[in-house]
Amino acid sequence: MYSFIKIKYRLLFTLTAVVLWAGCSSDRQGDEIGALKNSNYPETYDVRRNEFTDLRGVRGPEDKSVLAPKAVTSWRRYSEGAGNRLAILLTDSTASWLGLAHGLKSIGVPFIITTDFRKAVQHRVVMVYPIISGAALSPDALQALAAVPRNGGTLIGIQVLGALNEIFGFGEAVPSKQHFEIRLNPDSNSTITGEFKYPKEIEISLGDKERFKETIGTYSYAKCQLPPIATYEDKSTAIAQKMYEQGKAYAFGFDIGYLILKAHNNRHEDFNRSPANDFEPTVDVILRLIRNIYIDSDRDAAFICSVPYNKDLSVCITHNIDFKAAFNQSIAFAREEKSMGIHATYFVETKYIHDRSNAIFGSAEDFTRLKELYSLGMDIQSNSVIGSPLFDQFEQGTGTEVYPDYKPYVMAIDKTYHGTIFGEMRVSRFLLNHYIPDNNTVFFRSSFLYTPFTYPQSLLASGYRFSSSVTANACLTHFPFQMNYNREYDTELEVFEFPVTDDDEIPPFTLDRAESAIKLAKKIARYGGCFIGQVHPNPTGLAVEKKFINEMKPVAWFGTMKDFGFWWAARNEVTLDISNEGGHRVVNVNVPKRMEGLAIMLPLRSTPIAVEGGGKYIVDGKLIVFELAEGKIRITLNN
């Protein structure tokens, strides 16, 4: 059971969770916490000797954490690739193209970015981003783009504001900041929209109309020649389409890159309709639409599958060891998981301070018990040091924080002393790696799922590669994604977020929770997303977990956060290009880092007749799965 202070924290947290998680969490958390403040706290507080666990002879880490300087990512990083890739013609290099790039990588669509229209129109599918207008494009560029659908290609326009309206089949673009919803018009016979069937796939939220007077800027398209793919709530056209003899043209009335970045950076205004434990696939729907258009338009369309071995779903079971009883129950719980063939991830709060709740680690012997957990095949990762709900408001720190000098103290939900971002990251990682020398602590989870703006670069500076500190509903996606410096828009970092899908911190957590988790997992499994479950190690949690595993194991890949993290990072670097050689199409796959279970979906109506490199593989129609892949792979197709 929870200790008293954890009960107080969790109850207070639950009262504010819907308000905080439904919005942009860190951006407004301080205002919400401020409403709870009690001014009777002492100005400072130093931890007493009897409130501190002395691990004699232990000191570290020895290195210093330094935030890397910001280095804006250039679109040229994504400028090379063969003609089978979706081409993005960038009409404004300062736009939110990075969101589009990260989104397409997460769903596995190969692409290039260019500012040269002559290079773009050599591709079968061309997206013009972020705007089409006479001011943004030269007459020669407009003429070349107009010829794409007329010559059998596919043209995707984002925010078409003039010059090519007729090509996209509409009369005029009308601006608005009053569109709070995008509604798909699914057609079961359509290869573009036929797969969408759930209400939150069909009705995409762009904000809470009751709380906000305006939302992001959008355009509706008037006087359309064909029924739209999607409309806004006022029935004006959000996505227009026009069919040619062989070509196609699609016009999106909203900035999809900007929308993706608002989601990934958790900077939107209540776009999500529930805080967690629900299906909120806004970003995924947009990416799936783009992928469907790409596959439907290019005979050489191929993509990189998003689940190891192309199973339906990636599942990682996690446990937050954030109070003493959870730690005491963890080893017995892990034995049960081992008997089920499950390797789970235990996010451990390395709390050695006795504040308003007991320290989790009261002695060096407690820390050595982590070795037994590790020996059972479990993954041990960081859940911070002190577990403060104010983590996102901490000072950055010096980067020299070490045990035993780092002594944060949680007085109450709205008061923590001496906590720093670097301290929580550095010291927890050091202690875990010190007591489990073979462990590789590369994941960090904030106890209350709040993150500061410096969070991504702080992770890297502290030795982490991955995070699981935001809910899937808050970032509007059920895919992992690459993070950006300061949670902003122009600088990517080699660190990835794995959003929490189902969190047992939100009550009620009863046996019925298994059914809702299974239903949610099956929705995400329809398109290869991931399910990151968070279960406390107690009898109810075990019963829920067993039922979930029994139902989903036949169709899902189960693994640890660390395994999935390294797999996803390796997949992020895979490239896929198709060339014509000697009358055959050759798929060239480059895998810079070794990975298991890489799956490639080959072009429609094609079968491999020869495979060079990549080691052992299996073929299922147009799907090829490599047991262990690294380096350059050549797949020759039969046509």
Q: What are the tens digits of pLDDT across the range 160-208?
A: 999 999 999 999 999 999 999 999 999 988 999 999 999 999 999 999 9
**Residue 4 pLDDT exceeds 90:** no
Tell whether the model's pLDDT for residue 258 goes beyond 50: yes
Residue where the block lists tokens 């762009």: 206
Model confidence at 11, pLDDT cuts 50, 70, 90, reads very low
> What is the enclosing helix (H) or strand (E) of 112?
strand 111-114
Q: Is the dihedral of CA 111, 153, 172, 184 positive or negative?
A: negative
pLDDT band at 285 (very low <50, low <70, confident <90, very high): very high
Q: Is the peptide bond before 554 cis (omega within 30 degrees of 0)?
A: no
pLDDT at position 39, please?
64
How many Å apart are CA 306 and CA 624, to the nearest integer?
13
Q: What band does 250 get if pLDDT is binned at 50, 70 and 90?
A: very high
| Residue 87 in tokens | 């081409």
Mind listing the pLDDT tens digit for each residue in 380-438? 999 999 999 999 999 999 999 999 999 999 999 999 999 999 999 999 999 999 999 99
> Mean pLDDT, to the nearest integer, of 273-286?
94
- In CATH terms, the superfamily for domain 77-298 is Class I glutamine amidotransferase (GATase) domain (3.40.50.880)
pLDDT reading at 277 higher than 60: yes
The pLDDT, as a whole number, for residue 582 is: 85
**DSSP code for 52:** B
Q: What is the pLDDT of residue 430?
A: 98
Domain spans of the chain? 4-68+308-568, 77-298, 573-637
Mean pLDDT of 436-458: 95
Architecture category of domain 573-637 in CATH = Sandwich (2.60)
**DSSP class per residue in 458-510:** HHHHTT--EE--SBHHHHT-SS-EEEEGGG-SS-EEEEEE--BSEETTSS--S
Q: pLDDT category, 37, cuts 50, 70, 90?
A: low
- 633 has pLDDT over 70: yes
- Rounded-to-integer distance, Cα 313 and Cα 302, Å: 20
Q: pLDDT tens digit string along 134-170?
A: 999 999 999 999 999 999 999 999 999 999 999 999 9
Residues with Cβ within 8 Å of residue 522, at least 6 apart in sequence: none
Mean pLDDT on 458-467 = 98
Whether residue 637 is predicted with pLDDT greater than 90 in this model: the reply is yes
Helices vs. strands in the chain: H and E counts, helices first: 17, 29
**pLDDT of 236 strictly over 60:** yes
Kindly compute the dihedral angle of the four CA atoms of residues 305, 307, 312, 313, in this order, to the nearest 10 degrees. Answer: -140
**Percent of the chain scored above 90 by pLDDT?**
87
Task: Specify the higher pLDDT residue, 13 or 503.
Answer: 503
Mean of pLDDT values over 235-261: 97
Q: Model confidence at 6, in pLDDT bands (50, 70, 90)?
A: very low
Quick one: pLDDT band at residue 23, thresholds 50, 70, 90? Answer: very low
Question: What is the percent of the chain where pLDDT is above 70?
Answer: 94
* pLDDT score at 505: 75
For 521-572, write each residue's pLDDT tens digit: 999 999 999 999 999 899 999 999 999 999 999 999 999 999 999 999 999 9
For the domain spanning 4-68+308-568, the CATH number is 3.20.20.370
pLDDT, mean over the chain: 93
